[in-house]
Amino acid sequence: MYTNLILTSIISTIMSFSMPQLPYANNALEPVISQETIDYHYGKHLQTYVNNLNALVPGTEYQDMSLEEIIISAPDGAVFNNAGQVLNHTLYFLQFTPKQTQKEPSGKLAEAIERDYGNFNNFKKEMNAASASLFGSGWVWLAMDSKGTLHIVKEANGGNPLRKGMKPLLGFDVWEHAYYLDYQNRRADHIAQLWDIIDWPAIEKRM
Ligand code: MN
């Protein structure tokens, strides 16, 4: 009994996935994303994915893996879904800032966007169109392949471009829970506003 308690405690110490700490107050992204949406989306939805993953993984082959390793190796199912959503939402919430220092990317990311999409406005149009046309729940990612080429990748449900060998840079959550309280069915309006809170230096560091 005592040994089991110690073991359980060691396993949960090793294998505990945790919530990202938001670098802004829950109301700081208003009016683009309301405090109510952050309270639910970060505080309830993401917390549930973290809790689910921490309940699923101990004692399995995934218990010593990083989130990224789980996403690459787990078959479709609960472990993959929850690991994907923990990583997706961590990238999502850490890509925003209430005080945008640049309206557009700079440096290597700006060069890659110009090379692969012609210019920033065209890239925005393509991200917006992909977000509007994704059927059902999912994510739209700007991702980079192993050669450094950029791709706009549509993923259903909790998908992540890591599974296609690409690095996720910027992610738009198009599940209704991301915008319904603030925009109801107007997904395109929500996505159009997101560009005002993107922390471009944070995105550039992901390259
Ligand atoms: Mn979400």
pLDDT in tens, 160-187: 999 999 999 999 999 999 999 999 999 9
Tell me, yes or no, whether 191 lies in a domain. Answer: yes
Q: How far is the CA of 133 from the centre of ligand 1 (A)?
A: 17
Count of helix runs (H) and strand runs (E) in the chain:
10, 3
Q: What is the total count of domains within the chain?
A: 2
Query: Same domain, yes or no, for 113 and 184?
Result: yes
Q: What is the pTM of this model?
A: 0.92
Q: Kindly state the greatest CA–CA separation across the chain.
A: 64
- Which pLDDT band, with edges at 50, 70 and 90, does 4 fall under? low
Q: If you measure from the C-alpha of residue 40 to the centroid of ligand 1, how many angstroms do you get, rounded to a whole number?
A: 10
Distance 134 CA to ligand 1 centre (A): 15
49: domain CATH number? Answer: 1.10.287.990
On whether both 112 and 141 belong to a single domain, the answer is yes
Percent of the chain residues past pLDDT 70, beyond the cut: 93
Question: What is the per-residue pLDDT for 141?
Answer: 98
Residues 13-31, mean pLDDT to the nearest whole number: 90
Here the CATH number for the domain that contains residue 156 is: 3.55.40.20
What's the mean pLDDT in 68-86?
97
Question: What's the 115 CA to ligand 1 centre distance in angstroms?
Answer: 31
Q: Give the C-alpha separation, 60 to 57, whole Å.
A: 6
Domain housing 194: 107-206
Claim to verify: residue 73 and residue 163 sit in the same structural domain:
no
Strands 150-156, 167-173: pairing is unpaired
Looking at the fold, whether 134 and 162 belong to one and the same domain comes out as: yes
CB distance 158 to 168 below 8 Å:
no
- Whether 78 and 115 map to the same domain: the answer is no
On whether both 58 and 126 belong to a single domain, the answer is: no
State the DSSP string of 156-174: ETT--GGGGT-EEEEEEE-
In a domain, 138, yes or no: yes
CA-wise closest residue to 79 among 59, 60, 53, 55: 53
Q: What is the DSSP string of 104-129?
A: S--HHHHHHHHHHHSSHHHHHHHHHH
CA of 177 to the centre of ligand 1 (A): 6
On whether residue 81 sits in a domain, the answer given is: yes
Residue 6: predicted pLDDT: 57
Distance from residue 163's CA to the centre of ligand 1 (Å): 19
Residues 156, 120 within the same domain: yes
Q: State in Å: Cα 6 to ligand 1 middle.
A: 35
Regarding whether 68 and 143 lie in a shared domain, the answer is: no
Residues 111 and 202 in one domain: yes
Residues lining ion ligand 1 (Cβ < 5 A) are 173, 175, 178
Query: How far apart are the CA of 85 and the centre of ligand 1, in A?
Result: 7
Residues 117, 179, single domain; the answer is yes
Residues 74 and 134 in one domain: no
